[in-house]
Amino acid sequence: MVGIAVDETEMRDSAFEIVCTTEDRPAWLEARSQGIGSSDAAALVGESTRSSPVELWGERTGRRPPPDLDGLEYVQWGTWHEAGVAAAYSLERYSGRDVARTIAGLRRVQLSTFEAIATRMLRAPQQLLRSKLHPWASATIDGWTLRPSTGCIPLELKNSAGWFEDDWAHGPPMMVWWQVQHQMLVTGASFVSVACLLGGNHLVWCDVERDEVAIRRLTIAGTKLMACIASDTPPEHVPSLASVHILFPPKGNLEDGIVPIRAVDLDKDLVAVKLELKAAEAQKDALTAAIANAIGHHGYGELETGVVYSYRTQTREGYVARPSTSRVLRRHKKLPRRAKK
């Protein structure tokens, strides 16, 4: 493994401060809610398929609860795998670098064994760091490692399903790339190393370099969003189902009122799209049935191109949907009785 001297004090004092650790979960959750964390980075700059700036604004202003990830099996497995992924990353087959939860831990013990690193990662909590230059920016760092010629850099640990392997073929997916750019904004690091266990049996890793254009985008977007949160004003956005649920929540009897809207063209387009989707769904079902029929009692069907379809038994556990309340858009051919002009 590679051993390099670490100037812990210089990095910590120049860029960030340690707010708390994950050992005190309530304090950690509270600290996270006070700013923008690295897992929100892609959403912050509008590059996420799962969230958006207006959704972050809704969470920070109490209009929408943050995602409840506690108890989700895939999240638990990701946490449990972290120690093993970190220890494997340190092997000569992969990076050959030492790993620890904190900069201080990395400086105290270097050139460790697989077992020592896994044990150290299991026992030590993560630290929530906050940028001194941009106090709204925070990051919970999985670990730290030593990069030759660079020194101490953050380490991001991931665990993903095997079918996402193509997403990692040329580096981390965009969501992860923005996440580590945000970590570099907070820590001042010039690189972040990323290691991901795919399908439980394939480890990929790479060093992601700091991108100053991305850092600038994060800085501008974060400053604007925090101003919107402080003024309780939603950020500029293109309407989405998520944004309308946040901005126009259930209002009881107020929903019986009616207002004229200029949306004839939108109505025509929506009706047309629904018909197209219905036809496409029927076509999809027919094509699916045709391929399944060709496979028959076999488990797999191989095309001349080498593409393989599987047709195998799958058991799905039942579940109970959580109660929820939301507004639903429906089309009526005439004014409902309860509507009040």
How far, in Å, CA of 279 to CA of 276, rounded?
5
Q: Which residue's entry shows tokens 């429906």? A: 330
Tell me: pLDDT of 7 over 70: no
pLDDT tens sequence across 72-120: 777 778 778 888 999 999 999 999 998 999 888 877 655 578 888 888 8
pLDDT at 149: 86
Class of residue 17 by CB neighbours under 10 A (exposed 0-12, middle 13-18, buried 19+): middle
pLDDT, greater one: 162 or 191: 191
Domains of the chain: 8-218 (3.90.320.10), 252-310+327-341 (no CATH)
Evaluate whether 185 touches 219 at the Cβ level (below 8 Å): yes
Evaluate whether 198 touches 190 at the Cβ level (below 8 Å): no
Helix, strand, or coil (residue 20): strand
pLDDT at 341: 67
Half-sphere exposure for 175 (CA within 13 Å, toward CB): 12
Work out the pLDDT band at 13, boundaries 50, 70, 90: low
Spatial CA neighbour of 81 closest among 208, 199, 205: 199
Q: What is the pTM of this model?
A: 0.81
- Could you tell me how far CA 272 lies from the centroid of its own chain? 34
pLDDT tens sequence across 231-267: 999 999 888 888 998 998 887 666 777 888 888 999 9
At position 238, the amino acid (one-letter code) is V
Work out the pLDDT band at 8, boundaries 50, 70, 90: very low
How far, in Å, CA of 90 to CA of 87, rounded?
5
- CB atoms near residue 217 (< 10 Å): 18
SS3 of 83-125: the string is HHHHHHHCCCCCCCECEECCHHHHHHCCCCCHHHHHHHHHHCC
How far, in Å, CA of 60 to CA of 55, rounded?
9
pLDDT at 66: 80
pLDDT at 65: 85
Work out the pLDDT band at 305, boundaries 50, 70, 90: very high
Query: With the C-alpha atoms ordered 180, 186, 191, 195, is the resulting torsion angle positive or negative?
Result: negative
pLDDT, greater one: 129 or 33: 129
Evaluate whether 229 touches 57 at the Cβ level (below 8 Å): yes
pLDDT at 113: 81
Any idea which of 217-226, 252-261, 282-291 has the lowest mean pLDDT?
252-261
pLDDT tens sequence across 42-73: 999 999 988 999 999 999 999 988 877 777 77
pLDDT at 4: 43
pLDDT, greater one: 19 or 118: 19
Instruction: Supply 310's token pair.
Output: 């599987």
How far, in Å, CA of 130 to CA of 198, rounded?
30
Class of residue 130 by CB neighbours under 10 A (exposed 0-12, middle 13-18, buried 19+): buried
Q: What is the mean pLDDT of the chain?
A: 88
Evaluate whether 192 touches 89 at the Cβ level (below 8 Å): no
At position 245, the amino acid (one-letter code) is H
Measured in residues, the chain has a length of 341
pLDDT at 5: 45
pLDDT at 193: 97
Residue spans of alpha helices (H) in 135-210: 174-187
Phi, psi of 143 (to 5 degrees): -175, 180
Interior angle at CA 92, CA 86 and CA 97, nearest 5: 50
